[in-house]
Amino acid sequence: MNEQLLMKTASDMVKKGKGILAADESTPTIGKRFSQIAVESTFESRNEYRDMLFTADKMEEYISGVIMYDETLRQSTTSNDKTPFTKLLSDKNVLPGIKVDTGAKNLAGAPNEKITEGLDGLRERLVEYYEMGARFAKWRAVITIGDSIPSDHCIVANAHGLARYASLCQESNIVPIVEPEILMDGEHNIDTCYEVTNKTLDCVFDVLKLHNVMLEGIVLKPNMVISGMECDQQANVDTVSEMTVNALKENVPSEVPGIAFLSGGQSSDDATLHLNSMNKNNVSLPWNLTFSYGRALQADALIGWGGENREKGQEAFLNRAKNNGLASMGML
Ligand code: 13P
Q: Whose CA is nearest to atom 5 of ligand 1?
A: 294
* Model pLDDT, residue 117: 98
CB 262 less than 6 A from any atom of ligand 1: yes
Let me know: does 265 contact 295? Beta carbons within 8 Å. yes
Total domain count for the chain? 1
Pairing of the two strands 104-106 and 136-143: unpaired
Let me know: does 97 contact 137? Beta carbons within 8 Å. yes
**Residue span of the structural domain in which 304 resides:** 3-327
Q: Is residue 13 part of a domain?
A: yes
User: What number does the ligand 1 atom closest to the CA of 296 have?
Assistant: 2
Q: Is residue 310 part of a domain?
A: yes
Task: Find the catalytic residue in 61, 221, 230, 308.
Answer: 221
The pair phi, psi for residue 300, each rounded to 5°, is: -70, -35
SS3 of 104-152 = EEECCCCCCCEEECCCCCHHHHHHHHHHHCCCEEEEEEEECCECCECCH
User: What number does the ligand 1 atom closest to the CA of 67 have?
Assistant: 8
* Model pLDDT, residue 63: 99
Rounded-to-integer distance, Cα 151 and Cα 131, Å:
39
* Model pLDDT, residue 228: 98
**Partner residues linked to 138 by β-bridges:** 99, 177
Tally of CB atoms within 10 A around 237: 13
Contacts (Cβ under 8 Å, ≥6 apart) of 157 = 107, 110, 115
* Model pLDDT, residue 185: 98
Respond yes or no: is residue 308 known to be catalytic. no
Q: State the distance from the centre of ligand 1 to the C-alpha of 81, rounded, in angstroms.
A: 31
Instruction: Tell whether omega for the bond before 96 is within 30 degrees of 0, i.e. cis.
Output: no
Respond yes or no: is residue 179 known to be catalytic. yes
* Model pLDDT, residue 246: 98
Q: Residue 75: which CATH number?
A: 3.20.20.70
Q: State the distance from the centre of ligand 1 to the C-alpha of 297, rounded, in angstroms.
A: 10
The series of mean pLDDT values per 10 residues for the chain, 332 residues long, is: 98 98 98 98 98 98 99 97 98 98 98 98 98 98 98 98 99 99 98 98 98 98 98 98 98 98 98 98 96 98 98 98 98 97
- For residues 7-21, b (16+ Cβ closer than 10 Å) or e, as one string? bebbbbbbeebbbbb
Q: Using alpha carbons, select from 135, 176, 180 the residue that is nearest to residue 157.
A: 180
Contacts (Cβ under 8 Å, ≥6 apart) of 250 = 198, 201, 202
Let me know: does 310 contact 250? Beta carbons within 8 Å. no
Rounded-to-integer distance, Cα 48 and Cα 114, Å:
33
* Model pLDDT, residue 278: 98
- For residues 256-284, b (16+ Cβ closer than 10 Å) or e, as one string? bbbbbbbbbbbebebbbbbbbbbbeeeee
Q: Is residue 7 part of a domain?
A: yes
Please tell me what DSSP assigns to residue 62.
Answer: T
Q: Is residue 236 part of a domain?
A: yes
Q: Is residue 237 part of a domain?
A: yes
Q: Whose CA is nearest to atom 8 of ligand 1?
A: 22
Q: State the distance from the centre of ligand 1 to the C-alpha of 77, rounded, in angstroms.
A: 24
Rounded-to-integer distance, Cα 98 and Cα 132, Å:
10
Through-space distance between the first and last CA atoms of the chain, rounded to whole angstroms: 39
CB 22 less than 6 A from any atom of ligand 1: yes
CB 186 less than 6 A from any atom of ligand 1: no
Let me know: does 247 contact 199? Beta carbons within 8 Å. no
Q: Is residue 332 part of a domain?
A: no
